[in-house]
Amino acid sequence: MKRDSVVAIDLGSNTFRGVEMDCKSLEPIALYEKIVKTADGLHESGKIGDEAIERIIEAADEAKRVLNFGKPIVAVTTEAVRRASNAKDVIDRIKRETGIEFRTISGDVEASLTLLAVKKRLEKIGFKGERFVMVDIGGGSTEILFFDNGDFESRSFKVGIVTVAQKYKSLEKIEQEMPNLTLQMREFVEEKMLQKRPQLFVATAGTPTTVAAMKLGLTYKTYDASKVNGTVVEKSDLKIQLKRLLDLDHKSRQELVGVGREDLIAAGILIYEAIFSILGFDESIVVDDGLREGVAIAACSGDLKEFL
């Protein structure tokens, strides 16, 4: 059944993202986003911690004041909850305290719904690529998807900006471990590249959009998705923006990329750079739209059951 508008929520490994979407225009009516660090400490304990759950609940309560929770709500969660041994308890507590029932989705479903949103945005900004590779660099995992004239194949890798940053502590150690961390990515990409090379490299999620925003002269407070969408980020931009970030004092870093994200974005840039090398591209097209928008689009069209 088609609806006039819906609310979709994506609880990621780092960020709680919500959108109220107009189902006619497939454009947002309202947006909400907050860093909640769902995966904080996950690599050590194997669990979502109580402090993270409290941050999620606080974000949900704030989102109710921004988004119309009187509309149909679809809420999904991804890698951090997929990996957590206490996932059921976490989902039950969030539902009990906020009324929001999260559904944990697989990496394949995550990639498929993200693709739905990315394709729609590419069409709107004039990119008509029939073959592209899409990379979604998340907090707990990275999805790589090859799209070819309606067919696609995706793979989810347990390499995310939160888990990598917390496990290896320093950028030097992350750089040292990157060949091992991305070995499975390389094998998957090499296999797909032998079949047919994509025309475009499309990047989404927090790290690519933040690098694009930095390149455009935007800060966390002045971030504008309409400007970021379609921005070309070159591989050479990554070293420039990483150096710029690291040269700042702690407060200035927070102003640039957001409180709680400064170390994570640095780790994410190293992952982004490694993926550039694996794919053999010199530039990527950045798209802000991601899983939350894909969930909303599918819910608007009544096709969500096909994914879930």
The CATH number linked to 59 is: 3.30.420.40
Task: Give me the domain span that covers residue 255.
Answer: 108-287
pLDDT of residue 59: 95
Residues 86-142 pLDDT 10s: 999 999 999 999 999 999 998 889 888 999 999 999 988 888 767 899 999 988 889
Portion of the chain with pLDDT greater than 70, in percent: 98
- Contacts for 96 with CB less than 8 Å, ≥ 6 apart: none
Cα torsion 71, 72, 78, 81: sign: positive
Residue 282 lies in a domain: yes
User: In total, how many domains does the chain have?
Assistant: 2
Residues 139 and 158 in one domain: yes
Q: Are 124 and 61 members of one domain?
A: no
pLDDT-derived band at 268 (thresholds 50, 70, 90) equals very high
Question: What is the pLDDT at residue 149?
Answer: 83
- The candidate with the shortest Cα–Cα distance to 266, out of 131, 172, 149, is 172
pLDDT of residue 29: 92
Residue 80: is its pLDDT beyond 90?
no
209, 163: one domain: yes
The amino acid occupying position 1 is M
Q: What is the mean pLDDT of residues 39-46?
A: 84
307 falls in which pLDDT band (50, 70, 90)?
A: low
- 15 within 8 A of 268, measured Cβ to Cβ: no
Residue 263: which pLDDT band, with cuts at 50, 70 and 90?
confident
Q: What is the pLDDT of residues 180-239, one digit of tens each?
A: 999 999 999 999 988 888 889 999 988 999 999 999 999 989 999 999 999 999 999 999
Q: What single-letter amino acid sits at 297?
A: I
**With bands split at pLDDT 50, 70 and 90, how would you rate the model's confidence at 306?**
low
Q: Do 74 and 192 lie in a common domain?
A: no
Mean pLDDT to the nearest integer, 3-25: 91
Identify the residue with better confidence: 71 or 157: 157
Q: Tell me the C-alpha distance between 128 and 132, whole Å.
A: 10
pLDDT at 75 over 60: yes
Of the candidates 197, 195, 161, 198, the residue with the CA atom closest to the CA atom of residue 181: 161
Domain boundary among 72, 88, 106: 106
Query: Mean pLDDT across the stretch 230-256?
Result: 92
For residue 124, report the phi and psi dihedrals to the nearest 5 degrees: -70, -30
Confidence check: pLDDT of 308 > 70: no
Q: Is residue 41 part of a domain?
A: yes
Q: Which of 48, 78, 106 is the last residue of a domain?
A: 106
Average of per-residue pLDDT across 288-297: 93
Among 106-120, 249-263, 279-293, which is the least confidently predicted range? Answer: 249-263
Domain contains 293: no
Q: Could you give the CA distance from residue 263 to residue 268 in angstroms, rounded to a whole number? A: 9
pLDDT of 131 reads 87
Residue 132 and residue 83 share a domain: no
Lowest mean pLDDT among 164-173, 236-245, 292-301: 164-173
* Cα 84 from Cα 46, distance rounded (Å): 5
Let me know whether 101 and 221 are in one domain: no
Question: Is 256 found in the same domain as 233?
Answer: yes
* Mean of pLDDT over the chain: 90
Residue 1: pLDDT over 60: no
Q: Which tokens sit at 213? A: 């925003």
The DSSP string of 254-280 is HHHH-TTTHHHHHHHHHHHHHHHHHHT
In whole angstroms, what is the distance from residue 76 CA to residue 68 CA?
Answer: 17
8, pLDDT greater than 80: yes
